[in-house]
Structure 1
Amino acid sequence: MKGSLELFIALRHIRKRKRQTLLSVGAIAIAVMILVVSNAFMAGFTDLLYESTVNDLPHVTVTPQDGEEYIHLYRNTVGDIAAIDGVTATSVSLEREVILQSENNIESAMMKGVIQRDEEAVFHPSGDLIEGDFNRLASTANGVVIGDDLAEELEVKSGDTVDAFFPEAGISSLKVVGIYDTRTPIDSVLVYTDLKMTQEFYGTTDVINKISVRLDDFNMDAEVAEKVDALGYNAAGWTETNPEILQTIAIEGTSNRIILGFILLIASFGVVSSLNMTVMEKTKEIGILKAMGTSIQQIRMIFLIESGILGLLGAAAGTILGVGLALSIGSYEVPGELYQFDAIPVLIRYSDIALTIAIVFALNLVAGIYPAQKAAKMDPVDAISTV
């Protein structure tokens, strides 16, 4: 019965002071809405960043031992790496610099000799092709696949030929069998060729200088790289070779959380202000309750319950508004030629929403402690005599 009395009085205060209640709930709702939308954007952009970077990177990269230029007997190496738990695919490559010349222009590039089937399993380059066929690397003599930026500089298209200058083999004529577009800087420098052809052009034996590894879970890169190192090979995970990706996410996430924390604090001060006004307006009522035997704990609980209800109402309203706003913004299309995405990335995670509601509820309970203490400490005689 005691609990129901405190809840009854708290609800009565909330209903009687409709304007203050709406203002308090509205302030919390706006703060939560901003938090939900911001978290959805942050999660969406983080997911997009991983998809557009990490998924296009080797999760683990194996390179020659220190002091060596190539990896010899690489088939044994690939077999050892493929046996490690979590490894789903491997692709060997020989990468060297080359000069490409068309009828009108000359450009430097990085030639990457690959086994087409294995490269597809690790990087899925065929998904980036806008002209030609990546599979033709294995069936076309001297075939190459180049980026759209490099093709534009050389003024060539699929089916054209370019001259390639190699240090060991002089000049060779290459046929463009495909053009890709990743919307990244590699489009202007990377040229795919067949591995055997590259080895012949550079006058090397059956060697490579890189093994790219794809994992089930890219977060296991450091663990797998350590296992590869233990086998006697030189390996590094993507978090080691591309630390700027994690740094970018960490910086953006930290700044985002700081700003949103201040927004929630401001909203909580609105609750404190509202409850203080209630204490001032209900001074005589509080005195009467205490004179009738209502304990200090009960008085304190009335205002804590009121604070918690305001927080939950604001969090619920803000969540509904935030989810709706985030989904509507996420459906907005952006110019694909200007950005690496066709729509604003939005990812709503229910775990984030549940955490947000819990934090807002707890924060408002904390915010309600001061006015609750103030009401509980009132002297009943002084409170009743207050006009």
Structure 2
Amino acid sequence: MYELKIALRHITARKRHTLFAVLSVALAVGVIVVLMSMMSGFTEELVRVTVESSPHIVVSSQDQDDEYLHFSSYYSGSIEGIDGVEAVSPSLLGQAALSFKDNAVGAALHGVYASSEEQTSHVSKDLTSGSFLDLDRSRHGIVIGDNMAEELDASLGDWVTMVDPLAGSSNFKIIGIFDTGTDADETTAYVRLETLQDYFSKEGVVSSINLRVQDPFQADIIAAAIEKDTGLDAVSWIESNKEILELLNTQTAIVWIYYSLIYFIAGFGIANTLVTIVMEKKREIGMLMAMGIPRKNITFIFIMEAVILGTVGVLLGCIMGYVAALGIGSYRIELPQEVYYGLTTLPIKIDPLNFVYAGVFSFIINVITGAYPARKASSLNPVEAIESE
């Protein structure tokens, strides 16, 4: 295949130009692979934290005049039977002050059945000491966040006092301390459901029923089914985090524009190399056409050169991107835990699709940018080309 031989000879004739053209593509692909891996990692981590550490659906009363759900056992049983629901956990919310020694903090109290709440929110995975499930066996046990414990200057085993102007005061023993890396560590506390109901004189009622479903991305559909069957208000994690998810989609569109600009800049590196070859090889191109080589074959030679340069650049860029992504992913960064869900390393997700997208898109743009010099070469006048030197 003489076209391939000519294309390779052109490419190897100017090694420095070829090297810079290949490196421009490789750097573009490498940068894009790293950026896509970082974006995939942040997005996956955000969704993971939202999906894994929070209820997928929160069911509450539709009556604005009554913030509590009555007959929670009946509703829990009905909801649990709906297709796709994995676990349910009734919860009573309340506000009170917690004090220890001379320190006091405001607390958002969650009265729960620990075994059920563990199935819906996976609280135990964030525990740094003690046991969350012991709540079911301790009428006066409490589980608090590590930042709250620090403000109170209290530790596991200490007794804190819960104070409310109407409900009075009651003592609770710290049986667990958790660390989520979020603001919840400063304000959230868990106690046994019946204990909180007795404390606030709210026997038999709950604020909400928390749900975990088998497929989190079907939460909207299941929430609609719950509202239809029970007449209650059901809000999925997708609905409650709608603004964040829309922001991610907008960010993705903007980032792809940024990717395209980088690709086109790299593509011009190849185009510049090919234009230089055309200018230097005018006489050779003219002689080829004078020998009867069709113009479409001349075009094909330069398109092939763009393909070769682009392919080498893409492969090298994928290797560079992979190594860089691994390095960045293992690099330790100093961040306060509350800044980003307790992470201490950049969340990098090395997804094979990122390499496919970066490689294919870059390859296509390289071929497109190579079309101009290819067309320029095929449009030369053979006589003028031969006499140009």
**Residue equivalent to 1:66:** 63
**Residue equivalent to 1:304:** 303
- TM-score, normalised to structure 2, is 0.94
CA contact (8 A) 2:26 2:313 kept: yes
Number of equivalences: 384
Query: Which residue identity does 1:119 align to in structure 2?
Result: E
- The separation in 1 between residues aligned to 2:5 and 2:333, in whole angstroms, is 51
**Residue equivalent to 2:314:** 315
Q: Cα distance 1:21–1:151, how it changes in 2: closer, same or farther (>3 A)?
A: same
Report deviation, 1:368. 1.0
Among candidates 38, 41, 55, match of residue 41 of structure 1: 38
CA deviations on 1:55-85 (whole Å, 9 max, x unpaired) are 2121111111132221122222222322333
Report deviation, 1:230. 1.5
**Residue equivalent to 1:366:** 368
Pairs within 5 Å for 1:147-162? 147-162=145-160
CA contact (8 A) 1:272 1:367 kept: yes
- The separation in 2 between residues aligned to 1:336 and 1:143, in whole angstroms, is 32
Stretches of structure 2 that go unaligned for 5 or more consecutive residues are: none
CA deviations on 1:110-169 (whole Å, 9 max, x unpaired) are 110000100111111112122221122111222111111111222211111122123543
- The separation in 2 between residues aligned to 1:82 and 1:12, in whole angstroms, is 71
CA deviations on 1:204-228 (whole Å, 9 max, x unpaired) are 1311111111122322221221111
Among candidates 24, 28, 40, match of residue 25 of structure 2: 28
Report deviation, 1:350. 0.8
**Residue equivalent to 2:192:** 194
- The separation in 2 between residues aligned to 1:78 and 1:374, in whole angstroms, is 73
**Residue equivalent to 2:114:** 116
Query: Which residue identity does 1:20 align to in structure 2?
Result: H
Please say if 1:343 is aligned against 2:312.
no
- The separation in 2 between residues aligned to 1:86 and 1:362, in whole angstroms, is 43
Moved more, 28-37 or 226-235: 226-235
- The separation in 2 between residues aligned to 1:127 and 1:348, in whole angstroms, is 25
- The separation in 1 between residues aligned to 2:23 and 2:207, in whole angstroms, is 61
Report deviation, 1:245. 2.8
Among candidates 125, 130, 152, match of residue 132 of structure 1: 130
- TM-score, normalised to structure 1, is 0.94
CA contact (8 A) 1:90 1:122 kept: yes
Please say if 1:245 is aligned against 2:244.
yes
Pairs within 5 Å for 1:1-387? 4-67=1-64, 68-231=66-229, 232-335=231-334, 338=337, 340-387=342-389
- The separation in 2 between residues aligned to 1:311 and 1:187, in whole angstroms, is 51
CA contact (8 A) 2:194 2:203 kept: no
SS of match in other structure, 2:267: helix
- The separation in 2 between residues aligned to 1:198 and 1:9, in whole angstroms, is 83
Report deviation, 1:372. 1.0
Backbone CA RMSD of aligned residues: 1.7
Report deviation, 1:21. 0.9
- The separation in 1 between residues aligned to 2:218 and 2:19, in whole angstroms, is 49
Q: Kindly, what percent of the aligned residue pairs are identical?
A: 38
Query: Which residue identity does 1:138 align to in structure 2?
Result: D
Report deviation, 1:271. 0.9
CA contact (8 A) 2:52 2:122 kept: no
Report deviation, 1:352. 1.5
Query: Which residue identity does 1:139 align to in structure 2?
Result: R
CA contact (8 A) 1:167 1:202 kept: no
SS of match in other structure, 1:141: coil
- The separation in 2 between residues aligned to 1:322 and 1:69, in whole angstroms, is 53
SS of match in other structure, 1:90: strand
Query: Which residue identity does 2:99 align to in structure 1?
Result: Q
Moved more, 82-91 or 296-305: 82-91
Query: Which residue identity does 2:152 align to in structure 1?
Result: L
Query: Which residue identity does 1:211 align to in structure 2?
Result: I
CA contact (8 A) 1:92 1:212 kept: yes
CA deviations on 1:12-51 (whole Å, 9 max, x unpaired) are 2112221111111011001111011111111122222222
CA deviations on 1:247-302 (whole Å, 9 max, x unpaired) are 44334434433332221111111111111111111111111111111112111111
Query: Which residue identity does 1:150 align to in structure 2?
Result: M
SS of match in other structure, 2:177: strand
CA contact (8 A) 1:29 1:318 kept: yes
CA contact (8 A) 1:222 1:237 kept: yes
- The separation in 1 between residues aligned to 2:252 and 2:144, in whole angstroms, is 36
Query: Which residue identity does 2:370 align to in structure 1?
Result: G
CA contact (8 A) 2:50 2:237 kept: no
CA contact (8 A) 1:166 1:201 kept: no
- The separation in 1 between residues aligned to 2:215 and 2:4, in whole angstroms, is 49
